[in-house]
A and B are shown apart, each in its own frame.
Chain A
Amino acid sequence: MDPGPALYCIRIYGHLGATLLSAFPAMDAEQQGQVTVLTGVLDQSGLYGLLADIETLGLGLIEVRQLGSARESPEPGQGGCP
């Protein structure tokens, strides 16, 4: 089942610098203390690809959350990911 594109927020341990952020060009990044929050609209294959990249780069994945389908979602970067 493919639920279709949706807004996701992904929390990664640590502060990602320019090099690591370049691995996620489609996502908006925000630093929240010790955590980097990546926010963006992804379909299923985009989501799995991104998770695979996080694994490959040895990053610590804390949380993946869907914030709603792409249509009803708030603008990326405007919060919503607590």
Chain B
Amino acid sequence: MRVSTGSPRAGRAVSRLIDRGDLLAALDRAAAAKVTLISAPAGSGKTSLLRAWADGPGRRHRLAVVQVRRNERDAQQFWLILLAAIQGSAPTAGSTAPLAPTPDFNPAAMAGRVLAELAEQHERVYLLIDDLHELTQPDALDQLTRLLADLPGHVHAILATRHDLRLRLHRLRLAGELAEIRAADLRFSLSETGDMLRASGVELPEASVALLHQRTEGWAAGLRLAAIALAGNQEPDRFVAEFSGSDRTVAEYLLAEMLERQPADVQLLLLRTSLLDRVNGELADLLTGQAGSERVLLGLEDANAFVLSLDAERTWFRYHHLFADLLRLELRRTLPDEVADLHRLAADWLSEHSQVADAIRHLQAAGEWAEAARLLADRSFSLTLDGQAQTIEALLASFPPGAAADGPDLALARATITLARGLLDEAAAHLAVAEAHFAQALPARRHRLRVATAALNLSLARRRGNLAGVLEQVTFLATPVSGRSDEDISLDNDLRAVALMNLGIIEAWSLANQESERHLQEGADLARRIGRPYLEVACLAQLAFASKIEPFAVTRQRCEEAITLADRYGWGADPVISPALVNLGGVMIWTGAFDEGERWLRRAETALRTDSGPGIRLLLHLGTGQLEGCRGRHAEAVEQFRAAERLQSQLAGSHALASQLAGWSIAAQARAGLLSEASSALAVLGDDLTSSGEVSNARAAILLAQGAPDRALGVLHGVLDGSAPVTGDVTVIETQLLAGLAHAELGDQRAASQAAERALALAEPDRLVLPFAMTGAQDLLAAMPRHQTAHAALLADILDILRGSAVPAPPASAASSPRLSDSELRVLRYLPTNMSRPEIARELSLSVNTVNTHIRNIYAKLQATDRSSAVRQARQQRLISMAVPR
């Protein structure tokens, strides 16, 4: 599939398209409806009509033009190119990064993404999709139906196809939103036939024009072939008479005549290059064994001889499909022995020019199955890193079952695909088959295959949560890149980036240490340097997860950056970005923005649809469980935590969140009234977990639910005195709150408030709300005397959230929020409290004048008139819950 964007006029050959005024007017009229469908057989002149219309005078509207590639089975390619065409038609074209496909493609999300992209454009946009019949992927057609039904008012779609498609267009038709142009409308009239011949320099008497029109029935391809065959013909009348007297099919007769009139070198070029989807001068020279092919191709396009240039520079060309089909038949008929060799030559050239998928297709066409399988195995690693998993799948499907091809080479490709889908056991089985044979591979291939299997093994070990396995496999990182050839060096760099990513991920999972951040950052940097954007996004998304030990503001920023980058490439709803989506949802939930957090989690759920693997899905259930717990929906929380535990059992090693999951799961059961289940779950935990602070908290939750606050206090001692290991501050905050609840139960309000105050102090830096919500600490906080807390602002915020006056969603664009300075943010936090300005000044160790200045600035920036409207504004823009560096 090729894209031309903006005005397709640039670099266009001398136009011999005649002015089919009536049809162009019909197209203009049709644009009043949402969709125009041009459905007519091959050679009816659909593409020419579209080009003439697009080039027409006064066509100042923006055009996004997509030409569907032959037999397009890769829905992902289709959507990405459609998206690129739309982005390319925008006035800001060039500011966005080029799109690259992803292994983890989600077609449902792509239609939505295209709609979002269209919605952002405010001018009238025309979306031209030519050769739509070539799109054979059923899902893609379903999604296209959805896109067409939901097109915004300023977008008009024009679809050209050879036959009616499985698009459910009847609703549009009933609503009068579908305009149709069919074969009968496209036929050349007698006078258009005369115009067309004259435009091609053919002068015929009226009677001959009529005869030609009658014989071709106004069929565009027939007339054009006739015009080329007639150009320079000494006896045009005789030609027309003979043609009219022949019963042979119009296209075949005229093609033979036309070919015969071409010089031998042009004939040979047309025949030998007919089996390429697209051709340039160099490739044509190679296939013909002659020089100067580019000049011939340019000349053919200028003569309007069914040759179209594909780029503004006119270096790549394609033949009109019908013409190419006829040429291919002619090639097979007249030069049958050359066909396989031509495919092989083309494959070599394409392979050398990194057009691997096309090269493999030609090898398959030549019947070189073993060679095709070998090339696929050699390049599957690289294809994956560029996100072409769907292409690998399509190529795999084209191999015949059994035979030599079904050996270790294809097993490697299958391992790649199954791993991307999270089918870990299947992937391991394919990989074992591949590895068993690669030891015997030729030395020239061995390095490449070793790199590919090493990358797969690494990813497999990481996805299984096998820390030792990953560590064992990344020892090579210690040695510098030492490839002998350029290819070796680039392969080694690919592998290093993959290794850094997997190492960073597994470290984040298993150890939650700072090393993981360093490795992921190095992986992202390396990926960017070697031009692997997909890998860069993968590293950054995981980095967002790894940075959970950082302040929340940092984590949040990293998540947003990774998501922005993924969105730009069209990967915003793919498994690759799911770690950042889940984590951003988590940050929101932890800071009390429950509704927004839920939205991010749902987006992550969509992104994970094609990936059934355990890792990030576990986090998704964990986050959803927290959300349910925060909302007091304990039974639902139990379900989510149980789902997370089931996924956890698929992981090989322990992970950093294991004790949190165990603790929250048991506590949720206790709060849901499932006391005996909670106690049994507690009893079967391993020693490492039993001693953790998280599980101590769970034990206290059970005891509180059982009405034994004194014993609850007892089990919390280990956390309070620091002897029990904890995952993070959130555990200690929970402990303090549970202790506070126990004290309150025992009637010791003073001790209860002191515990709550300690919890607030720990929660202040990140403005954590989660532990207060999960433990049900609302009454405990409400009972605290306001003047006794040093965290009045946070306390007021948390109570607001727990009482359900939820923080509103943030504005769509961060750029629109006013920039408050850190000092102003610090003062802002006290505005929701009933503290006076002198009291705030004392609290912050500032002079009253300074506080007054800050408050004046805050009002100005928030366009507020008084304290309550400032608080309202600040809440809406989520400024109050923002973490402030101290």
B332 engages A16 (CB within 8 Å): no
Closest A residue, CB atoms, query B133:
A55
Q: CA separation between A34 and B162, bound complex, in Å? A: 24
**Residue A76 at the B interface, CB < 8 A?**
no
| Cβ distance B783 to chain A, nearest Cβ, rounded Å | 75
Closest A residue, CB atoms, query B222:
A58
A19 engages B41 (CB within 8 Å): no
B329 engages A15 (CB within 8 Å): no
**Residue A79 at the B interface, CB < 8 A?**
no
Within 8 A of A (CB), among B626-673: none
- Residues from chain B with a CB closer than 8 A to the CB of A19 are 252, 255-256, 326, 329-330, 333
Question: Interface digits, B228-249 against A, CB 8 Å rule (1 contact, 0 not)?
Answer: 0000000000000000001111
**Residue A1 at the B interface, CB < 8 A?**
no
- Residues from chain A with a CB closer than 8 A to the CB of B325 are 56-57
Q: CA separation between A31 and B248, bound complex, in Å? A: 10
**Residue B584 at the A interface, CB < 8 A?**
no
Closest A residue, CB atoms, query B163:
A55
Within 8 A of A (CB), among B315-360: 321-322, 325-326, 329-330, 332-333
A58 engages B247 (CB within 8 Å): no
Q: CA separation between A40 and B571, bound complex, in Å? A: 50
Q: CA separation between A34 and B245, bound complex, in Å? A: 11
Q: CA separation between A59 and B43, bound complex, in Å? A: 10
Q: CA separation between A68 and B252, bound complex, in Å? A: 32
A18 engages B333 (CB within 8 Å): yes
- Residues from chain A with a CB closer than 8 A to the CB of B247 are 14-15, 31, 33-34
Q: CA separation between A59 and B222, bound complex, in Å? A: 12
Q: Which of A22, A55, A58 contacts B332 (CB 8 A)?
A: A22
Q: CA separation between A47 and B460, bound complex, in Å? A: 45
**Residue B675 at the A interface, CB < 8 A?**
no
Q: Which of B162, B249, B255 contacts A16 (CB 8 A)?
A: B249
Closest A residue, CB atoms, query B255:
A19
A55 engages B249 (CB within 8 Å): no
State whether A57 and B256 are in contact (beta carbons under 8 Å apart), knowing that A19-B326, A22-B332, A22-B333 are contacts in the complex.
no
A22 engages B329 (CB within 8 Å): yes
**Residue A4 at the B interface, CB < 8 A?**
no
A55 engages B162 (CB within 8 Å): yes
Closest B residue, CB atoms, query A36:
B249
B162 engages A14 (CB within 8 Å): no
Q: CA separation between A23 and B325, bound complex, in Å? A: 10
- Residues from chain A with a CB closer than 8 A to the CB of B42 are 55-58
Closest A residue, CB atoms, query B324:
A56
State whether A16 and B221 are in contact (beta carbons under 8 Å apart), knowing that A23-B329, A57-B322 are contacts in the complex.
no
**Residue A20 at the B interface, CB < 8 A?**
yes
Q: CA separation between A19 and B333, bound complex, in Å? A: 7
Q: CA separation between A56 and B327, bound complex, in Å? A: 13
B329 engages A58 (CB within 8 Å): no
- Residues from chain B with a CB closer than 8 A to the CB of A31 are 247
Q: CA separation between A55 and B797, bound complex, in Å? A: 69
Total A-B Cβ pairs within 8 A? 59
Q: CA separation between A60 and B326, bound complex, in Å? A: 15
Within 8 A of A (CB), among B192-250: 221, 246-250
**Residue A17 at the B interface, CB < 8 A?**
yes
Q: CA separation between A31 and B249, bound complex, in Å? A: 12
**Residue B825 at the A interface, CB < 8 A?**
no
B256 engages A55 (CB within 8 Å): no
Question: Interface digits, A1-44 against B, CB 8 Å rule (1 contact, 0 not)?
Answer: 00000000000011111111011000000010110000000000
A59 engages B249 (CB within 8 Å): yes
A residues contacting the other copy or chain, number (CB 8 A): 19
Q: CA separation between A65 and B610, bound complex, in Å? A: 44
B333 engages A14 (CB within 8 Å): no
Closest A residue, CB atoms, query B246:
A15
A16 engages B248 (CB within 8 Å): yes
Q: CA separation between A57 and B255, bound complex, in Å? A: 12
Q: CA separation between A17 and B42, bound complex, in Å? A: 18
Q: CA separation between A59 and B325, bound complex, in Å? A: 12
State whether A14 and B256 are in contact (beta carbons under 8 Å apart), knowing that A19-B329, A57-B326 are contacts in the complex.
no
Closest B residue, CB atoms, query A53:
B325
Q: CA separation between A14 and B326, bound complex, in Å? A: 16
- Residues from chain B with a CB closer than 8 A to the CB of A18 are 333
Closest A residue, CB atoms, query B41:
A58
Within 8 A of A (CB), among B736-791: none
**Residue B253 at the A interface, CB < 8 A?**
yes
Closest B residue, CB atoms, query A18:
B333
| Cβ distance A53 to chain B, nearest Cβ, rounded Å | 9
Q: CA separation between A15 and B248, bound complex, in Å? A: 4
A20 engages B41 (CB within 8 Å): no
**Residue B279 at the A interface, CB < 8 A?**
no
**Residue B251 at the A interface, CB < 8 A?**
yes
| Cβ distance B369 to chain A, nearest Cβ, rounded Å | 21
| Cβ distance A58 to chain B, nearest Cβ, rounded Å | 4
B248 engages A57 (CB within 8 Å): no
| Cβ distance B335 to chain A, nearest Cβ, rounded Å | 12
Among B41, B42, B43, B249, the most chain A Cβ lie within 10 Å of the Cβ of B249
B333 engages A16 (CB within 8 Å): no
Among A56, A57, A59, the most chain B Cβ lie within 10 Å of the Cβ of A57
Q: CA separation between A18 and B253, bound complex, in Å? A: 10
B256 engages A17 (CB within 8 Å): yes
Q: CA separation between A23 and B330, bound complex, in Å? A: 10
Q: CA separation between A18 and B249, bound complex, in Å? A: 11
| Cβ distance B797 to chain A, nearest Cβ, rounded Å | 66
Q: CA separation between A22 and B249, bound complex, in Å? A: 14
Q: CA separation between A58 and B248, bound complex, in Å? A: 13
Closest A residue, CB atoms, query B249:
A14
| Cβ distance B252 to chain A, nearest Cβ, rounded Å | 5
List 24 A-B pairs, Cβ < 8 Å: A14-B248, A15-B246, A15-B247, A15-B248, A16-B249, A17-B248, A17-B253, A17-B256, A19-B252, A19-B255, A19-B330, A22-B329, A22-B333, A23-B329, A31-B247, A33-B247, A56-B162, A56-B322, A57-B251, A57-B322, A57-B325, A57-B326, A58-B322, A59-B249
Given contacts A20-B329, A57-B326, 4 further A-B contacts (CB under 8 A): A13-B249, A17-B248, A23-B329, A56-B321
> Which 8 residue pairs of A and B lie closest in terms of their CB atoms, listed nearest first?
A15-B247, A58-B42, A14-B249, A58-B43, A22-B333, A15-B248, A58-B322, A17-B252
